[in-house]
């Protein structure tokens, strides 16, 4: 009997020889055929890292496995690179920087624009890859691909808007100029929850500015990063400008240390936990690097008595449960005015039960994929148990259903001393807390070391201005639950980070300012 074509395992030759044909390909390629002109999802799976425009193995020959969080099956394996491999990638990026920094903004813009077009053209297939390694539903993955391509489009435009200045001189024979120039080799460490968009948001800005990149993607989601490398090469971005070093958790610290301590790396950008961000910041001190950190959050979601409760419930669904609650800007503490508390809780719980469906992200109708791993499930279980033990009540959900899945959960009677209110959840639980006055709730919202995002609903114009200004967060959503767009700056206050990504401010993180005094005129 002839074996069906979709089940025939093979290793692609020539330029495709490093793509891994596995169970992933059999499943993904048969979900739906690629659109006309788009490549199949299987053509984006690479089992090598990307350095100097080439697909390379770890010098040790070691690899590590990547697992689908929805079913525990191995997708494939990628190189487990170490400090020596990272040093080589840094050397490559440093050499490439010497010529890349001399390119014109117009040249860089054209390449970035084409890179973004390729991402957009292949977004449905790239979404299959993203869902397989991260777990979010396909619709959310397509949304992330649109978001990620948006950063490449944005920074293609911003590359041509990097402008210096001429300062009025106090001395007639002098002219005072300000130049903006690329900072150099930029080290990047990106998270697993947005494995496409967090790369384009960082690397797009750096490349637009004239910098080169050495990037370590999260060990859970390396394939989306490698797919971006393939498209960058196809777009014409020169060898050495974008380099991706993959590593397991075991080697992550030594790879990160190279990026932090190498004198050839002049900029570090990290998105991840506050704990790790602080460690990296300490390590960068030895070379006084410019550092961007996008760290953890503990976002308040406030509903004032003048609010449209139905609109607030809809906003809460997006602010809490997209990506199964695994985003740094997800609402963490729900403060509801006592006069509408019961109404909100009833409508919120009913909407969660009606609208949300757990399952494999590739299955039709799924709105909630798995958490990234068992450790994440255990954290959420512990937070729910702590809350219930201290008097909270479960409105809906409240338990794990096996594997990496946890039910979307609403808790009522939550107080600020419970773990679900004090800690970043990073999962699908919403603890609802009563408040009485505006001053009280603003004080509660700000009573945290985090300051990334905050949300509130109100139809009182004076209150909107007051609260928007008083919240100690870098992002504020007013009558909106999903606020991130490529065009706006993204970053936190307090221990939620340093610097900004996205928007016209994002490219500034990769530029140095130089003052030039011209005398004898």
Q: What is the pLDDT of residues 446-483, one digit of tens each?
A: 999 999 999 999 999 999 999 999 999 999 999 999 99
The verdict on whether 87 is a catalytic residue reads no
DSSP notation for 358-373: BS-TTSTT--B---SS
- 1, pLDDT greater than 70: no
**Are 50 and 214 contacting, i.e. CB atoms less than 8 angstroms apart?**
no
Q: What is the pLDDT of residues 204-222, one digit of tens each?
A: 999 999 999 999 999 999 9
Q: What is the pLDDT of residues 426-445, one digit of tens each?
A: 999 999 999 999 999 999 99
- DSSP E strands in 279-397: the ranges are 290-294, 299-303, 331-337, 393-396
Determine the Cα–Cα distance for residues 477 and 454; give it in Å rounded to an integer.
Answer: 6
Residue linked to tokens 């300012």: 513
Determine the Cα–Cα distance for residues 258 and 490; give it in Å rounded to an integer.
Answer: 26
CA 236 to the chain's CA centroid: 25
From the candidates 125, 153, 294, 438, which is the catalytic residue? Answer: 294
Q: What is the pLDDT of residues 359-399, one digit of tens each?
A: 999 999 999 999 999 999 999 999 999 999 999 999 999 99
What share of the chain has pLDDT > 70, as a percent? Answer: 94
Determine the Cα–Cα distance for residues 125 and 41; give it in Å rounded to an integer.
Answer: 5
Q: Can you read off the two tokens belonging to residue 44?
A: 């984006």
With b meaning 16 or more CB within 10 Å and e meaning fewer, what string describes 257-267? ebbbbbebbbb
CA 4 to the chain's CA centroid: 38
In 3D, which of 281, 297, 280 has the Cα closest to residue 484? 297
Q: What is the pLDDT of residues 130-187, one digit of tens each?
A: 999 999 999 999 999 999 999 999 999 999 999 999 999 999 999 999 999 999 999 9
∠ Cα 436 446 338 (to 5°): 15
Q: Sign of dihedral through CA atoms 271, 370, 342, 418? A: negative
Mean per-residue pLDDT for 292-299?
Answer: 97
- Count other C-beta atoms under 10 Å from residue 206's C-beta: 29
What share of the chain has pLDDT > 90, as a percent? Answer: 93
The pLDDT of residue 3:
34
Question: Taking all residues of the chain, what is their mean pLDDT, rounded to a whole number?
Answer: 94
CA 379 to the chain's CA centroid: 21
CA dihedral in degrees (415, 420, 421, 426; nearest 10)?
-160
> Which region among 6-15, 197-206, 452-461 has the lowest average model confidence (pLDDT)?
6-15
- 12, pLDDT greater than 70: no
Q: Can you read off the two tokens belonging to residue 409?
A: 């959960």
- Count other C-beta atoms under 10 Å from residue 80's C-beta: 24
In 3D, which of 69, 27, 129 has the Cα closest to residue 402? 69
With b meaning 16 or more CB within 10 Å and e meaning fewer, what string describes 404-426? bbbbbbbbbbbeeebbbbeebbb
- 8, pLDDT greater than 50: no
The pLDDT of residue 34:
83
Q: Can you read off the two tokens belonging to residue 447?
A: 């009573």
Compute CA distances 391 → 86, 385, 411, 521, whole Å: 50, 10, 10, 77
**Are 167 and 151 contacting, i.e. CB atoms less than 8 angstroms apart?**
no
Mean per-residue pLDDT for 350-354?
Answer: 98
């Amino acid at each position: 009997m002839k074996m069906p074509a979709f089940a025939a395992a093979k290793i692609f030759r020539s330029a495709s020889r490093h793509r891994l044909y596995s169970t992933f390909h059999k499943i993904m390629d048969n979900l739906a055929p690629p659109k006309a002109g788009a490549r199949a999802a299987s053509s984006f799976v690479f089992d090598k890292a990307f350095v100097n425009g080439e697909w390379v193995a770890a010098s040790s020959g070691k690899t590590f496995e990547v697992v689908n969080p929805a079913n525990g099956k191995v997708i494939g394996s990628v190189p487990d690179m170490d400090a020596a491999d990272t040093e080589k990638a840094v050397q490559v990026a440093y050499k490439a920087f010497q010529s890349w920094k001399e390119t014109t903004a117009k040249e860089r813009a054209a390449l970035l624009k084409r890179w973004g077009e390729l991402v957009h053209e292949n977004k449905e297939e790239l979404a299959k890859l993203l869902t397989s390694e991260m777990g979010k539903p396909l619709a959310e993955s397509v949304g992330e691909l649109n978001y990620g391509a948006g950063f490449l489009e944005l920074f293609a435009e911003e590359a041509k808007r990097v402008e210096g200045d001429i300062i009025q001189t106090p001395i007639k024979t002098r002219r005072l100029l300000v130049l903006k120039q690329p900072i150099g080799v930029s080290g990047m460490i990106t998270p697993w929850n947005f494995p496409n968009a967090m790369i384009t948001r960082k690397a797009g800005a750096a490349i637009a500015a004239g910098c080169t990149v050495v990037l370590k993607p999260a060990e859970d989601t390396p394939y989306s990063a490698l797919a971006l490398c393939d498209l960058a090469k196809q777009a014409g971005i020169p060898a050495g400008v974008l380099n991706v070093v993959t590593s397991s958790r075991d080697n992550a610290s030594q790879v990160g240390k190279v990026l932090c301590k190498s004198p050839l790396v002049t900029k570090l950008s990290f998105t991840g936990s506050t704990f790790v961000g602080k460690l990296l910041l300490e390590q960068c001190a030895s070379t006084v690097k410019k550092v961007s950190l996008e760290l953890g959050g503990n976002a308040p979601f406030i509903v004032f008595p003048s609010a449209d409760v139905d609109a607030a419930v809809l906003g809460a669904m997006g602010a809490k449960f997209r990506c199964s609650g695994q985003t740094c800007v997800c609402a963490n503490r729900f403060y509801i005015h006592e006069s509408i508390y019961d109404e909100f809780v009833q409508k919120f719980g009913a909407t969660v039960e009606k609208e949300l469906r757990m399952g494999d992200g590739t299955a039709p109708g799924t709105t909630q994929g798995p958490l990234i791993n068992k450790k994440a499930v255990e954290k959420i279980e512990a937070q729910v148990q702590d809350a219930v033990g201290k008097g909270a009540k479960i409105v809906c959900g409240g338990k794990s259903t096996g594997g990496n899945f946890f039910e979307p959960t609403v808790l009522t009677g939550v107080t600020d001393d419970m773990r679900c209110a004090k800690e970043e959840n990073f999962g699908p639980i919403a603890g609802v807390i009563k408040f009485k006055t505006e001053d009280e709730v603003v004080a509660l919202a700000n009573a945290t070391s985090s300051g990334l995002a905050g949300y509130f609903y109100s139809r009182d114009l004076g209150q909107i201005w007051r609260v928007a200004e008083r919240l100690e967060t870098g992002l504020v959503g007013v009558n909106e639950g999903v606020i991130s767009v490529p065009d706006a700056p993204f970053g936190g206050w307090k221990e939620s980070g340093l610097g900004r990504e996205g928007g016209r401010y994002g490219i500034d993180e990769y530029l140095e300012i130089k003052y030039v005094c011209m005398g004898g005129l």
